[in-house]
Amino acid sequence: AQSVTQLGSHVSVSEGALVLLRCNYSSSVPPYLFWYVQYPNQGLQLLLKYTSAATLVKGINGFEAEFKKSETSFHLTKPSAHMRDAAEYFCAVSDQGSQGNLIFGKGTKLSVKP
Amino acid sequence: ETGVTQTPRHLVMGMTNKKSLKCEQHLGHNAMYWYKQSAKKPLELMFVYNFKEQTENNSVPSRFSPECPNSSHLFLHLHTLQPEDSALYLCASSQDGLADYNEQFFGPGTRLTVL
């Protein structure tokens, strides 16, 4: 069965600094991977997705993620943080053993300091 | 309306009340989901419907009763809830819940408080 681990429940960066949110997955088959963002009191919004095409995936709001099979990782990055990036970020894998249901990580809350 | 909508956005209810949450998707999808999001807990999948048929019930207590009259609408009927049921309830939809590739689109959620 697939699983997702997000390292660090809380990450704090300064405005303009690099953002790196870590996600590792386990899967016995080529995975489909997603990053979602949740702003306070809102639902989840898709940031980007990996569907076995390019390993470097670009998403909205300047975020990107790189699929590394050898490291079973799908880390999310953004070169320069902005105050509006403060939110909670969830990594998810499509559970191909359970009708494709998404398996979510526990989330990483990103704080951005001025 | 576009995307996935949920009503009400906020709900306060007593433990003896009966209320319903409503979700509607305007994306032409065939699968709909209910999730529970509590503070400090991971997102919990509650129910899955594919083509109006329930395909997953994740050991949810019977005080939560889902209803899916068609592929565009999903309800969650609530009765005799407990304070620990207070949470954000999220609805989502996807094109085909039985496919390996399953990108889900989420609504804004209903913030439920049980007194």
Summarize pLDDT for A43-98 with one digit per residue, the tens. 999 999 998 778 999 999 999 999 999 999 999 999 999 999 999 999 999 876 66
In contact, B66 and B77? CB cutoff 8 Å: yes
Q: Tell me what the mean pLDDT of segment B25-51 comes to.
A: 91
Residue from A77, A82, A109 nearest A14 by CA: A82
Q: Do A105 and B42 touch (CB under 8 A)?
A: yes
- Which tokens go with B73? 């609408």
- Which residues in B lie closer than 8 A to residue A105 (C-beta atoms)? 42
Q: What percent of chain B has pLDDT over 90?
A: 73
Residue from B99, B75, B83 nearest B14 by CA: B83
User: Is residue B93 classed exposed, middle or buried when 0-12, 13-18 and 19+ CB atoms within 10 A define those classes?
Assistant: buried
Contacts of A60 (CB under 8 A, 6+ apart): A47, A48
Question: Is B56 touching A (CB cutoff 8 A)?
Answer: yes
Interface probe for A, chosen from B103, B105, B111, B112 (most Cβ of A below 10 Å), is: B103
- Please give the distance of CA A98 from its chain centroid, rounded to a whole number: 21
Query: From the list B6, B92, B100, which residue is nearest A100 (CB)?
Result: B100
For position A47, what pLDDT does the model report? Answer: 96
> What is the sign, positive or negative, of the torsion defined by CA atoms of B3, B9, B13, B17?
negative
**Residue B54 DSSP class:** E
- Which residues in B lie closer than 8 A to residue A106 (C-beta atoms)? 42
Residue B56's pLDDT band, with cuts at 50, 70 and 90, is: confident
Task: State pLDDT tens for residues A4-28.
Answer: 999 999 999 999 999 999 999 988 7
Task: Name residue, tokens 């963002």.
Answer: A37
Residue A31's pLDDT band, with cuts at 50, 70 and 90, is: confident
